[in-house]
C-alpha cells in the first residue's frame, strides 16, 4: 500500500516540478524566477524522499537534507544579491579611502 502511495506521490510531484520549471523559464520577473527555483528545490527534496520510500532505502533522506541546506543557502544568496547588488558586505575598515 505504501509503495502505491509513494508512486502516486512521485507522479504528482513530478508534474508539479514540470510546472515549476515552466515558471522558472517563463517567469516575468527575477523574483518570480528565484521563487520558482526555491519551489523546484522543495520539489526535488520531495522527489528524493518519495523515491527513498518507494525503493525502501534510507540513504536518500541524507541526500534530501543536503539538498535542503543547499537550497536554503542559494535562496538567501540570490535574494541578497537581488536586493543589494552584491553578496558580501565590506566592513568600513576595508573600504577604500579609510
Structural domain contains residue 55: yes
Structural domain contains residue 91: no
Structural domain contains residue 20: yes
Q: Which residues of 58-97 are buried (b: 16+ CB within 10 A; e: fewer)?
A: eebeeebeebeeebeeebeebeeeeeeeeeeeeeeeeeee
pTM above 0.85, yes or no: no
Average pLDDT over residues 78-87: 84
Give me the domain span that covers residue 57.
Answer: 2-86
Question: Which of 89 and 20 is assigned the larger pLDDT?
Answer: 20
- Give the chain's domain count: 1
Question: Which of 96 and 63 is assigned the larger pLDDT?
Answer: 63
Query: Is 81 a residue whose pLDDT tops 70?
Result: yes
Structural domain contains residue 24: yes
Cell numbers for 86, please give them.
552584491
Per the listing, cell 508512486 goes with: 7
Structural domain contains residue 32: yes
Structural domain contains residue 73: yes
pLDDT at 88: 75
pLDDT at 95: 57
pLDDT tens digits, one per residue of 5-61: 999 999 999 999 999 999 999 989 999 999 999 999 999 999 999 999 999 998 999
- Domain with residue 38: its CATH number is 1.10.287
Amino acid at each position: 500500500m505504501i509503495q502505491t502511495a509513494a508512486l502516486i506521490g512521485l507522479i504528482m510531484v513530478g508534474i508539479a516540478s514540470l510546472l515549476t520549471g515552466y515558471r522558472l523559464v517563463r517567469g516575468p520577473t527575477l523574483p518570480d524566477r528565484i521563487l520558482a527555483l526555491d519551489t523546484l528545490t522543495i520539489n526535488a527534496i520531495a522527489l528524493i524522499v518519495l523515491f527513498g520510500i518507494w525503493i525502501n532505502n534510507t540513504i536518500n533522506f541524507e541526500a534530501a537534507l543536503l539538498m535542503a541546506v543547499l537550497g536554503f543557502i542559494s535562496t538567501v544568496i540570490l535574494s541578497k544579491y537581488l536586493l543589494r547588488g552584491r553578496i558580501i558586505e565590506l566592513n568600513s575598515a576595508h573600504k577604500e579611502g579609510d
